[in-house]
Amino acid sequence: MADFPHCRVATWAEIDRLADAVAEKVLSAGRRPETIVGLTRGGWVPARLLADRLAVKRVYSLRAQHWGVTATPSGKAEVTEGVSGPVEGQRVLVVDDITDTGESLELALERVREGRPARAETASFLHISHSKFRPNYFGEEIPKESWVWVVFPWNYWEDLASLAERARAVDPDHVRAVLRDRCGWDVPSEHLEELARWSARR
Ligand code: AMP
């Protein structure tokens, strides 16, 4: 039987609260950046939400790849596309959605430092306590004993598709039962119908 991760579905309201919490910590530390670098793809929305709260106009991206399909690490993390703009002399905040092994954010920070910024710090919305890299700021810490696969709103359909496929069931009710029992994810049946419509057209 395939492996299924325990899942926690993050709502937009929770994401908003996490963005508030991280922005609050950055401002309380008196460390407002002038440039934000968001890791693609998970750190893009967090980067944008922080840029809004911190009034940062310059947002760059950096592409890091680590985890393959949902909850399956694809080996070593690597930076496959560097920072999209110059950071020399700037105060930079590098942002991701979650630090799990922490390898992606650690590598991204190294890459940003090569561009000789005046300062480079890191933030993630969620931080799992076993991560070997601890960001300067995070919104919430998840104890390692409570490891969970977080279904972020920006990864919802991708996670649903890959877990539904892993369930190897044709009947949607069976897929729902597997996701509920194995992942703790109570998927509304309309979402499986919607997924089937998306999948048929791409
Ligand atoms: P990592 O290098 O292990 O810290 O994680 C790299 C990326 O994989 C993160 O930015 C997330 O997009 C994704 N990821 C890793 N672990 C999780 C998790 N437990 N839940 C959701 N996404 C995750």
35 and 117 part of one domain: yes
141 and 125 part of one domain: yes
Residue with tokens 């309201």: 13
Of 8-17, 22-31, 110-119, 162-171, which range is least confident?
162-171
| CA 25 vs CA 39, 61, 96, 158: distances in Å | 20, 22, 16, 31
- On whether the pTM is more than 0.85, the answer is yes
Q: Tell whether ligand 1 has an atom less than 6 A from the beta carbon of residue 123.
A: no
Ligand 1 center–CA 38 separation, angstroms: 14
193 and 93 part of one domain: no
Residue 174 is encoded by which pair of tokens?
Answer: 């069976």
Instruction: State how far the Cα of 34 lies from the Cα of 122, in Å rounded to an integer.
Output: 13
Check the CA dihedral 140-144-146-147 and report its sign: positive
Number of domain units in the chain: 2
| Domain with 56 in it | 9-150
| pLDDT tens digits along 2-36 | 689 999 999 999 999 999 999 999 999 999 999 99
Cβ neighbors of 77 (< 8 A, separation 6 or more) are 64, 65, 66, 101, 103, 104, 106, 107
- Does some domain include residue 1? no
Ligand 1 center–CA 9 separation, angstroms: 14
Q: Tell whether ligand 1 has an atom less than 6 A from the beta carbon of residue 159.
A: no
Cβ–Cβ < 8 Å for 173, 187: no
